[in-house]
Structure 1
Amino acid sequence: MDTITVKQFYKDVFGGNCPILDNFLDENNNKDIGHFNVFSIADLYTNCTNKSNMSYNRRTYYKISLINGKNKAEYADKVVDIKEHAILFATPKVPYKYIPQDDNQSGHFCIFTKDFLAKSKSGLVLDELPIFKPNGEFIYEINAKQYKDIEHVFEKMHEEITSDYAFKYDLLRNYVIELIHYGQKLTPIASEENNLNASARISTLFIELLERQFPIESPTQSIQLKTATDYAYNLGVHVNHLNKVLKEITGKTTTEIISSRITQEAKILLKQTTWNVSEIAFSLGFEEVAHFSNFFKKSTQLSPLSYRK
């Protein structure tokens, strides 16, 4: 999986015209210890261009958002209405978007990589935590008192990240862990199925998840999602339902779409790199070179080496 800078991530999310990011972000402030940053929603909402659809579409970052305002969150076949206060825990494995329902938006959010918390001595494994499970609920409604409690943690984050304290990132890790434990004590907001738009949304999110696996930029890199079941799990839907939706919308099965994209990437790697066939097979999720060769030949009627030549 590829990595992008925090600044580029938020320029992508909030639009290119966001001058507050240029002043706020320091690309080198946490080099070699994993990325972390914290933001005010009100500041970004006021100063940035992309307000109407706050999608989270980069695969490197985890995100914790403290939301104050009316919003609608959409993921897979589910829709969650945020009436006033909520806290949201996002994993890079689950694409979603939340749509502000008015201009009265405030709160805070922080982003961080798995590497950032790996430095912690807490022993937490992010993807094993209930709030970061791909097929779980991750939006929690909170009352005014809980909002103030959580906001106080974010205020400490804002203060600490701009300090000169040599061990500030140790403190910031502790604040993130505090938010995680706070969230795991809460009850998720009940989601509703939205059959009118669910199929189109599932199809779009599936394609987004598929494209997140590429491009392959190193022979040591390997795609993480390989089968239809893998994608269905991360989208929080049954594999049969995912297959039915994709068949209705695209005319192809889930496996056919995945295979086509892997073949496309295999052709690129064979033509544009000097990697050997074994390295390419590994990067595309094949445990045996023979399996990759058979797969490629079935798709193109050529062996990998014949195609390269």
Structure 2
Amino acid sequence: MQKDNPEAKSLHDLYLHLNLPVELIQASEGFTILNLKDVGFKLPYESPSFRPDYFSFLFIKDGTGKYTIDEHSFQAGPHSIYFTNPSNYRTFSWENIEEIYLITFDEAFLKKYINKDIFQDFPFLLTETIQPKVVTDDFYQSVENICLQIQQEYISNSSSKYKIIGHLLAILLYKIKAYFWKDYNPIYEGNRSSQIVKSFKQLLEKHYRDLSSGKADTTFRVQDYASAQNLNSNYLSNVIKSKTGKPIAVWIADKTIAEAKSLLQNSTLSIKEITYKLGFSETAHFSNFFKKHTHTSPIEYRKTDNL
């Protein structure tokens, strides 16, 4: 039996669920803009559960609705701006729609048409505590004008339209940054209150305990850590790098080396046994990994430590 409220795994799935033409989605470019009044929602409407693989902005000129992410629900009303990123599963519902613009874009679009170091310029894109923000009439008018320009370019046949959209989107992001996020510091959030970072560190510690005790026999990949939090893997990587100053691959490598050193120092296990305990399939792979990060081989490290 088909579910009445199926899960939408992507923007493409969501468009299909809403009976919107998927031709509106330029998959190669990763950008869309839509006025929700053109969708033809049967109100009140509640979406399926979905985890987006894109960033989005809602500009609500006139309308009322609600977004729910995990256990957090946020009301959205007239002259509010709502931002979401490719993080956890969520649903949205609408009670009234008069004029609401939805802009979506993925990381590849941002890096191609705005800046490769996009999260340095706009770190707020990775914030975890997000709720709709009501703005002044003047500010809403200024961002609405940009939305209308973006929409005009989007429906045009210009060969340069995505370059133009990229410039306009950058202006929009700079305006929003100055209005809402001027003092936002992702490192501070990561050190103090980031649930994503905290959960990642806890899982990292637990996983290596499981490897050491034999409860696990393969090392986690980035996707495994992301799946544990129902997150997009690129998003998790960006959050960890932005909020800790260290790439997720370095966190994993550092933890692997720390565990390897401990086993070499404090156990009588053979190099082969340590290899398998840490999830490596071959001793040569483990030895090369260890030497790359410590500039010495596991055998040399154990001998030196025992002198």
What's 1:186 paired with? 179
Is residue 225 from structure 1 mapped to residue 223 from structure 2 by the alignment?
A: no
Q: For residues 119 and 289 of structure 1, do their structure 2 counterparts lie closer, same or farther at Cα, with a shift above 3 Å needed? A: farther
Tell me, in whole angstroms, the C-alpha distance in 1 between the residues paired with 2:279 and 2:164: 47
Does the aligned pair in 2 maintain the 1:114–1:126 contact within 8 Å? no
Q: Give a deviation string over 1:175-199, Cα, whole Å, max 9, x none.
A: 22222222222348xxxxxxxxxxx
Tell me, in whole angstroms, the C-alpha distance in 2 between the residues paired with 1:41 and 1:58: 19
Q: 2:134 aligns with which of 133, 136, 141?
A: 141
Q: CA RMSD in A?
A: 3.9
Give the letter aligned to residue 15 of structure 2: Y
Q: 2:82 aligns with which of 76, 85, 88?
A: 88
SS of residue matched to 1:165? coil
Q: For residues 91 and 148 of structure 1, do their structure 2 counterparts lie closer, same or farther at Cα, with a shift above 3 Å needed? A: same
What's 2:16 paired with? 11
Unaligned runs of 5+ in 2: 1-7, 182-198, 200-220, 237-274, 282-307
Q: For residues 5 and 95 of structure 1, do their structure 2 counterparts lie closer, same or farther at Cα, with a shift above 3 Å needed? A: closer
Q: Give a deviation string over 1:40-62, Cα, whole Å, max 9, x none.
A: 01111xx2458522467233211
Tell me, in whole angstroms, the C-alpha distance in 2 between the residues paired with 1:5 and 1:79: 21
Does the aligned pair in 2 maintain the 1:85–1:144 contact within 8 Å? yes
Give the letter aligned to residue 125 of structure 1: I
Tell me, in whole angstroms, the C-alpha distance in 2 between the residues paired with 1:49 and 1:127: 40
Does the aligned pair in 2 maintain the 1:87–1:183 contact within 8 Å? no
Does the aligned pair in 1 maintain the 2:11–2:52 contact within 8 Å? no
What's 1:25 paired with? 23
Q: For residues 8 and 225 of structure 1, do their structure 2 counterparts lie closer, same or farther at Cα, with a shift above 3 Å needed? A: closer
What's 1:106 paired with? 99
Tell me, in whole angstroms, the C-alpha distance in 2 between the residues paired with 1:40 and 1:228: 32
What's 2:30 paired with? 35
What's 1:97 paired with? 91
Does the aligned pair in 2 maintain the 1:65–1:87 contact within 8 Å? yes
Tell me, in whole angstroms, the C-alpha distance in 1 between the residues paired with 2:14 and 2:120: 21
Tell me, in whole angstroms, the C-alpha distance in 2 between the residues paired with 1:170 and 1:139: 28
What's 1:118 paired with? 111
Q: For residues 5 and 127 of structure 1, do their structure 2 counterparts lie closer, same or farther at Cα, with a shift above 3 Å needed? A: farther
What's 2:69 paired with? 75
Q: For residues 138 and 185 of structure 1, do their structure 2 counterparts lie closer, same or farther at Cα, with a shift above 3 Å needed? A: farther
Q: Give a deviation string over 1:82-134, Cα, whole Å, max 9, x none.
A: 3422111110113333332x324421011111111111353443498443224
Unaligned runs of 5+ in 1: 189-205, 207-219, 235-287, 295-309
Structure number with bigger Rg: 2
Tell me, in whole angstroms, the C-alpha distance in 1 between the residues paired with 2:120 and 2:132: 16
What's 2:168 paired with? 175
Does the aligned pair in 2 maintain the 1:130–1:136 contact within 8 Å? no
Tell me, in whole angstroms, the C-alpha distance in 2 between the residues paired with 1:226 and 1:136: 20
SS of residue matched to 2:81? strand
Q: For residues 228 and 83 of structure 1, do their structure 2 counterparts lie closer, same or farther at Cα, with a shift above 3 Å needed? A: closer
Give the letter aligned to residue 222 of structure 1: Q
